[in-house]
Amino acid sequence: MPVAVPAHLDPAESWDRATLEAFQLTQLRKQMSRLSQDSDYYAPLLRRLGWDVSELRSLADLARLPFTYKNNYVASLAAQPPLGGFMAVPRSEVQRIHFSSGTTTIPTPQFWTGTDLERWAQLYARHAHSQGIGADDIVQCLFSYTWFVGGLGATAGYQRTGAMVIPAGSQDTERQIHTLFTYGTTVLCGTPSFITHLAEEVRKRGLDPAASSVRTIMVGGEPGASIPATRARIEALWGARCYDAYGCLEFQPIAGECSAQDGLHLAEDFAYAEVVNADTGIAVKDGTPGVLVLTHLDKQAGPLVRWWTGDIVVRDQTPCHCGRTHARLKGGVRGRADDMLVIRGVNVFPSAVEELVRRTPGLGDEYQLVLDRSVRDAAGFMKSLHLRVEQIDTAADAQQLATQLAQEIKKVLSVTAKIDVLPLGTLTRFTHKAKRVVTEE
Ligand SMILES: [Zn+2]
C-alpha cells in the first residue's frame, strides 16, 4: 500500500547526518559547560573526574563519562530532599514537575521550565503531524492526567497541530464510549491495554468500534504497536491505523512512529542516543539489540547525561520512506534490560511472548507470565515458562489451544512453556501500565 508522505513540521527532521551531528556536538558542548557550573550533581562529579568540556571533540568522546542510573537519581533525592541535585536551574524557573509511577522505587520528580514545556509540545506535535494529525482532528486522550507525564504532554502536543483535544483520562469507560460516539472522536491516544479494553467494552454494548469515526490510534506507555500481532489486533478492532510512541518520565518524547509505520524516529535534535551492550556498556553496532542511553541536548531543568533507560532497542540509521533522517528504533522497545527472562541461556522478553499469544486464534489479548517454583530448577535458575492466557473462542478446546501455543513458543523462542487457558475476563485488566510478570512462590 503506498504511504502518503506528509510535509515535515520542522526542517530539523530531515537534516542530513553531518548537519545533525554538528548540531548535536554544538548543543552537547553548550549543555556540558553549563552543567559543569550549575548542576549540583554533575559539577562535582566532572571535577572529580578531572573532565573538562574541551575534551568533547567528537560525539564519541561523551562515552568517557559514566552513565547516570536511576539509583544515582534516587540517592541524590535522599541527599538533597525533596528535589535532589539534578535541577540545574533556579527553582523559580521551574514551571512543571511530574513524578514517576514509583513501581520500583519511591516516586521521583522531574522538572520542566517554560522553554522545556514548549520544546516538549513542539516535539510531540512533530510526531503527531507525521501521522497525519491536524486541525480537523478530535483527539480523545486516554492517558492519565495526574502525577505522570502522559496526558498533559499529549494534550499540549496535539493542540500544537491544531487538533481539538478531549482530556478524557484513563477512567470511566461508559463516559469514554458515550463521548467517542457523540463527538466523533477521530484520534485515540492511550496505553494499548486500555484502548483494547475500550474496544471490548464497545462491543459488549452491541456497537462496533470499527464503525466509529476513530481513524488514528497512538499508543504508548507499554509495548504495543511495535508488536505486529498487537498492532494488527488494535487496527482490526478499531478499523484505524495504529502508531507507536515512546517516552519516559526523564525524556519526553523519545521517539514516535511516522506514517511509514516502520520504526520510531528518535528526536535526535533533542536527545543524543547511544545503544550499548547491557553488560559491558560498550556501544553496539546498529541492528544489534542494546540498552538505549540518552543525553539531553537542550533541556534546561533536570538535564541528564548518559541516562541508562534500561530499555532494549535496535537502532537503524538508514533513510525512512517518509524522508525523515532521524534514526529509527525498529520494533520499538523490545523489552526492559531488567525484565528480560533468561531461560536456559535464552533471552526471552515478555513482548515476544505477547506476540505469540496474540497470534494464536481463539485466545484473548491478556496474558500473564508467572514466576513460580515450577519454572525454576533446583539451583533457582529459570528452566521454562509458565503462562496464563484467556480463551476468547468458547467453542475451541482449551487443551488444544494450550498445546498449540506451547508448540509455537517452543518453535519461535526455543523454550518450553506450561500454559493455563482460563475463561475470558479472569486476568486483571490494567488501564495504565499492564503488569505482565507476576511472582508467586
Ligand atoms: Zn519515517
- Give the model confidence (pLDDT) of 283-333 as tens digits: 999 999 999 999 999 999 999 999 999 999 999 999 899 999 999 999 998
Helices (H), 265-364: 350-359
CA 308 to centroid of ligand 1, rounded, Å: 25
CA 3 to centroid of ligand 1, rounded, Å: 10
CA 261 to centroid of ligand 1, rounded, Å: 7
Find cell 519511591 and name the residue: 106
Q: What is d(CA 403, CA 417) in angstroms, rounded to the nearest whole number?
A: 9
CA 258 to centroid of ligand 1, rounded, Å: 5
**pLDDT tens digit sequence for 36-65:** 999 999 999 999 999 999 999 999 999 999
pTM across the whole model: 0.81
Write a three-state SS string for the chain. Answer: CCCCCCCCCCHHHHCCHHHHHHHHHHHHHHHHHHHHHHCCCHHHHHHHHCCCHHHCCCHHHHHHCCCECHHHHHHHHHHCCCCCCCCCCCHHHEEEEEECCCCCCCCCEEEEEHHHHHHHHHHHHHHHHHCCCCCCCEEEECCCCCCCCHHHHHHHHHHHCCCEEECCCCCCHHHHHHHHHHHCCCEEEECHHHHHHHHHHHHHCCCCHHHCCCCEEEECCCCCCCCHHHHHHHHHHHCCEEEEEECCCCCCCCEEECCCCCCEEECCCCEEEEEECCCCCCECCCCCCEEEEEEECCCCCCCCCCEEEEEEECEECCCCCCCCCCCEECCCCCEECCCCEEECCEEECHHHHHHHHHHCCCEEEEEEEEECHHHECCCCCECCEEEEEEECCCCCCHHHHHHHHHHHHHHHHCCCEEEEEEECCCCCCCCCCCCCEEECC
CA 230 to centroid of ligand 1, rounded, Å: 20
C-alpha distances out from residue 334 to 103, 173, 337, 350, 355, Å: 20, 30, 9, 9, 11
pLDDT of residue 186: 98
CA 158 to centroid of ligand 1, rounded, Å: 19
CA 321 to centroid of ligand 1, rounded, Å: 6
Mean pLDDT over 125-146 rounds to 96
Q: What is d(CA 214, CA 242) in angstroms, rounded to the nearest whole number?
A: 11
Predicted confidence (pLDDT) at residue 102 exceeds the cutoff of 80: no
CA 255 to centroid of ligand 1, rounded, Å: 11
Contact criterion met (CB below 8 Å) for 396 and 329: no
Average pLDDT over the chain, rounded to an integer? 92
Nearest 5 degrees, angle CA 312-CA 427-CA 419?
75
CA 25 to centroid of ligand 1, rounded, Å: 24
CA 14 to centroid of ligand 1, rounded, Å: 10
CA 319 to centroid of ligand 1, rounded, Å: 8
Q: Give the three cell numbers for residue 317.
A: 540509521
CA 148 to centroid of ligand 1, rounded, Å: 28
CA 287 to centroid of ligand 1, rounded, Å: 17
CA 225 to centroid of ligand 1, rounded, Å: 15
pLDDT of residue 304: 98
Predicted confidence (pLDDT) at residue 6 exceeds the cutoff of 80: no
CA 257 to centroid of ligand 1, rounded, Å: 7
CA 322 to centroid of ligand 1, rounded, Å: 4
Confidence of residue 5 (pLDDT cuts 50, 70, 90): very low
CA 419 to centroid of ligand 1, rounded, Å: 38
CA 106 to centroid of ligand 1, rounded, Å: 37
- Amino acid letter, 183: Y
CA 29 to centroid of ligand 1, rounded, Å: 28
Mean pLDDT over 134-160 rounds to 95
Q: What is d(CA 44, CA 61) in angstroms, rounded to the nearest whole number?
A: 19
pLDDT of residue 280: 87
CA 1 to centroid of ligand 1, rounded, Å: 15
Contact criterion met (CB below 8 Å) for 385 and 343: yes
pLDDT of residue 57: 97
CA 323 to centroid of ligand 1, rounded, Å: 6
Predicted confidence (pLDDT) at residue 103 exceeds the cutoff of 60: no
- Amino acid letter, 276: V
CA 328 to centroid of ligand 1, rounded, Å: 8
CA 126 to centroid of ligand 1, rounded, Å: 12
CA 138 to chain centroid, in Å, comes to 23
* Helix H or strand E encompassing 152: helix 150-160
Confidence of residue 342 (pLDDT cuts 50, 70, 90): confident
Q: What is d(CA 251, CA 153) in angstroms, rounded to the nearest whole number?
A: 11
Q: What is d(CA 96, CA 40) in angstroms, rounded to the nearest whole number?
A: 20
Find cell 542516543 and name the residue: 273
Q: Compute, in degrees rounded to 10, the torsion defined by CA atoms 133, 135, 136, 137.
A: 50
User: Which letter, b or e, does each residue of 46-71 get, where b requires 16 or more Cβ atoms within 10 Å of its Cβ?
Assistant: beeeebeeeebeeeeebeebebbebe
CA 127 to centroid of ligand 1, rounded, Å: 10
Rg, Å, the chain Cα set: 22
Mean pLDDT over 390-400 rounds to 93
Q: Give the three cell numbers for residue 134.
A: 491536524
pLDDT of residue 286: 96
CA 256 to centroid of ligand 1, rounded, Å: 9
CA 24 to centroid of ligand 1, rounded, Å: 20
CA 344 to chain centroid, in Å, comes to 28
CA 336 to centroid of ligand 1, rounded, Å: 24
pLDDT of residue 349: 79
Mean pLDDT over 212-228 rounds to 90
Ligand 1 (ion): residues with CB under 5 Å are: 258, 260, 320, 322, 324
CA 327 to centroid of ligand 1, rounded, Å: 9
**pLDDT tens digit sequence for 242-288:** 999 999 999 999 999 999 999 999 999 999 999 999 878 999 999 99
Q: What is d(CA 96, CA 109) in angstroms, rounded to the nearest whole number?
A: 10
CA 324 to centroid of ligand 1, rounded, Å: 5
CA 4 to centroid of ligand 1, rounded, Å: 11
CA 310 to centroid of ligand 1, rounded, Å: 25
Mean pLDDT over 4-17 rounds to 83
3-class SS of residue 1: coil
CA 325 to centroid of ligand 1, rounded, Å: 8
